[in-house]
Chain A
Amino acid sequence: MTTISSASTAFSGDDPHNRLFGPVPDVAGERGYGDDHPPRVGFFTDTSVCIGCKACEVACKEWNTLPMDDAEGNRAQLGLTGASYDNTGMLGANSWRHVAFVEQSRAVDLPMPTVGAPGAVGGPRPLEDPPVVHPRVPASATTAEQSAPQQTPSADREIRWLMSSDVCKHCTHAACLDVCPTGSLFRTEFGSVVVQEDICNGCGYCVPACPYGVIDQRQDDGRVFKCTLCYDRLTDGLQPACASACPTESIQFGDLDQLRARADARLAALQDKGVEGVRLYGHDETDGVGGAGAFFLLLDEPEVYGLPPDPVVTTRDLPSMWRHVAAGAAMVVGVVASAFVGRRR
């Protein structure tokens, strides 16, 4: 009988306050890998350059031989969501990469032409008044780098498409890993979280435990599946299939420290150019999951992409839960015992 958990030191170890959440400098080392284990790796997904081509989804399905399914996870079903160009719908047991496709619009105050006598004051203004970036280049052609990416004007509306390739976050404190009762989920030497399919017994406890809603049960099988960060490829020195397939380098794979530095630089660059609403998501080690192994540069609020705004690993409150469970059990014993005290009736 062994104890496998990212949080077990909270119950047995030195620092009872800081092992169920918070930063962990060496997440693989903490799990018993020696000093020579490889550095922690992850994904940085820069959604500002995502073109929604779904090459990552296809590459993932191909490499991992995932079965076809529809947006509700029904196997061997072809279905259209009807809501958008996104017919994958969600991350699930058979879709380990999912390209979210958000179509947004907003009203713009265009300089409208007015009617009046030629030459009159405040006469007709030209219809076209694009901000000129370079004499020979229309502004619309360079929007990706000049103002906001993925954005086009349309009549008095501006339309933009936000595309973001979502994936398992490989959290520093992974709720799925902590609640798994069989030890089927484990932390790899690369710091990622992987399900051992032959040990999973289909209890489904990890499914509602994940604050991001990533891991899911394969219907008609009962076992759960999720992104492995291509563990099999990593051990052979390759990078994950999705990152290899991404044509725009929206999905970047590498050592997590380097990726974080690169992400900070990219964030600063976009902010300098005045891109609205740009932010990093999942990179902060002090957040509710201790920082994610897969983090994102987003152009809007996380919930717009279907991501939780402030996820917290559920085991953070576990000490309190166990205390209340113990108090409840003691109360039952007390109530039943006291019912037998006193005169017989």
Chain B
Amino acid sequence: MQNINSWLKSNTFHHSQFKDISRLVEEKEKQGLTISLCIPTLNEEKTIGKEVVIFKSELMDRYPLIDELAVIDSGSTDRTLEVAASFGADVYLSAEILPQMGAKRGKGENLWKAIYQLKGDIIVYVDADIKNIHPRFVYGLVAPLIYRREIKYVKAFYDRPLALSGQIRPSGGGRVTEILIRPLFSLFFPELTALVQPLSGEYAARREILEKIPFPIGYGVETSHLIDVYSEWGLDALAQTDLDRRVHRHQTTQALGKMAFGILRVFFKRLKQRGIVECLPELPTFLRQFQAHGEQHEQIVYEIFEEERPPMIELEVYRNQHK
């Protein structure tokens, strides 16, 4: 096992190291790289406008760091697409990309279809619900890929306060990480515990990697990426960047329970595939939660499939497009 401390020193960055965007653009152009930014959305009209304005103005108009800014939407019923388009983003409905593959609901579906739809050698994914958006959320993630050719996949981490009843907690968040992911990684993939926030929704990766890994369409996509990239290319292909503060919506404990269930299904599938745990039973798709009505308790059952999309490179239509 690699020394995690040495990896932390060599592959952990702070966004301020890459503040000189003109130098970054120069290096990107020298290498002939192209970069696409993908924002997956579902009813994000309150925050999408600001993200598009900031990224387009700062990283396309002022400094040509990104070559393409796309919103890939899961079928919003609010004005997400209208707002995004009005500020100059390319907007796509996920269902209309690769229609022959059908349409599935989930963020991972949008991320996967982005590989087909977008043109960049590097794709950077940024969630749409960030209230304190800043250009660092993009340049902090793509910079390690531009400056270090051996790095292939860069995750974000932050000091992530949760907004609760108007009060801001100075630190916290990442509850599923600390209660579920970190214990699981400690047990089965100890090197991956070096990732400070393995579930962060912001990351950048080279196309050559993204096209070769499967994409769970739901909650497990981030966990599976880390395991798959690590298994195939090793810890040195991974890096992480501290983006400082991230302000976002707070999720209920029930919602986190669903997230944990989806992640567990993806995680156990990978343990089984790698022969780490061989005698796992068929895993059920039902999550059971409870809610109380007075003194009565009612069981609520959710069906969570956590389907996976195959590596994009396996699709003939994609291979033909990228000959």
A-B complex is real: no
* B interface, CB within 8 angstroms of A: none
* A interface, CB within 8 angstroms of B: none
